[in-house]
């Protein structure tokens, strides 16, 4: 008989872990609730007790990745690095998270049937992400590393560039072109922040 954890969150995490593996190996569209139940060795009805659909599983899985990303960014804020380094680390961390399992998250988000989830997740990340980017920019202004007349606009601009780079990763852009896009992104962000040239280095 399958073990029933006392804490429902333990079971939810088990479902998400199983779904994450199946979405990677079989693809999101090819995976069914039945597949997830079989992988866990539980009855299909147990999954429906926690999630009403496969899309609900995906949505919660994306939320988990988003929460993990925000947690990592909060840790970056506390580092002793310069504001320029913190901006670069924040963007690099976001792109690394987007590249998880050979772009699994991006593949699911850019799936035509899931575009509404992409909009929803990106909006969620924007709301959670913006205050932390703003904090870094304000730190840079205070240290005279940045010269920005309207920090919230600079935040929006950076988010657009992150979205642009994420799409390049989804399209599996060649290394040469991706390198060119990263260099241009660095230069544009430096100009948007009034930072010195070659102080922002985005790593993938």
How does pLDDT run across 70-107, given as a tens digit for each residue? 899 999 999 999 999 999 999 999 888 877 766 566 66
Q: Do 148 and 125 share a structural domain?
A: yes
Span 57-69, pLDDT tens digits = 988 988 888 888 8
Among 42-51, 121-130, 132-141, 172-181, where is mean pLDDT lowest?
121-130
Span 128-155, pLDDT tens digits = 788 999 999 999 999 999 999 999 999 9
**Number of domain units in the chain:** 2
Range of the domain at 39: 8-50
Tell me the CATH number at 155.
1.10.357.10
Q: Do 110 and 24 share a structural domain?
A: no
The answer to whether residue 203 is domain-embedded is no
Question: What string of DSSP letters covers the chain?
Answer: -----SSHHHHHHHHHHHHHHHHHHT-TTT--HHHHHHHHTS-HHHHHHH-SSHHHHHHHHHHHHHHHHHHHHHHHHTSSS-HHHHHHHHHHHHHHHHTHHHHHHHHHHSSGGGHHHHHHHHHHHHHHHHHHHHHHHHHHHHTTS---S-HHHHHHHHHHHHHHHHHHHHTT--HHHHHHHHHHHHHHHHHHHTPPTT------
């Amino acid at each position: 008989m399958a073990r029933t954890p006392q804490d429902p969150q333990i079971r939810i995490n088990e479902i998400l872990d199983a779904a994450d593996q199946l979405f990677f190996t079989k693809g999101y569209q090819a995976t069914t609730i039945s597949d997830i139940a079989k992988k866990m060795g539980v009855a299909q009805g147990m999954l429906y007790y926690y999630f009403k659909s496969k899309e609900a599983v995906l949505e919660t899985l994306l939320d988990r990745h988003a929460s993990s990303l925000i947690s990592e960014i909060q840790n970056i804020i506390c580092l002793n690095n310069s504001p320029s380094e913190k901006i670069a680390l924040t963007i690099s961390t976001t792109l690394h998270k987007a590249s998880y399992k050979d772009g699994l998250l991006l593949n699911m988000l850019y799936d035509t049937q899931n575009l509404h989830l992409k909009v929803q997740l990106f909006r969620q990340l924007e709301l959670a992400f913006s205050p932390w980017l703003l904090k870094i920019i304000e730190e840079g202004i205070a240290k005279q590393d940045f010269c920005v007349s309207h920090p919230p606009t600079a935040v929006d601009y950076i988010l657009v560039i992150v979205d642009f780079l994420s799409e390049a990763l989804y399209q599996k852009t060649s290394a040469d072109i991706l390198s060119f896009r990263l260099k241009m992104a660095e230069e544009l962000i430096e100009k948007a922040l009034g930072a010195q040239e070659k102080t922002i280095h985005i790593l993938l």
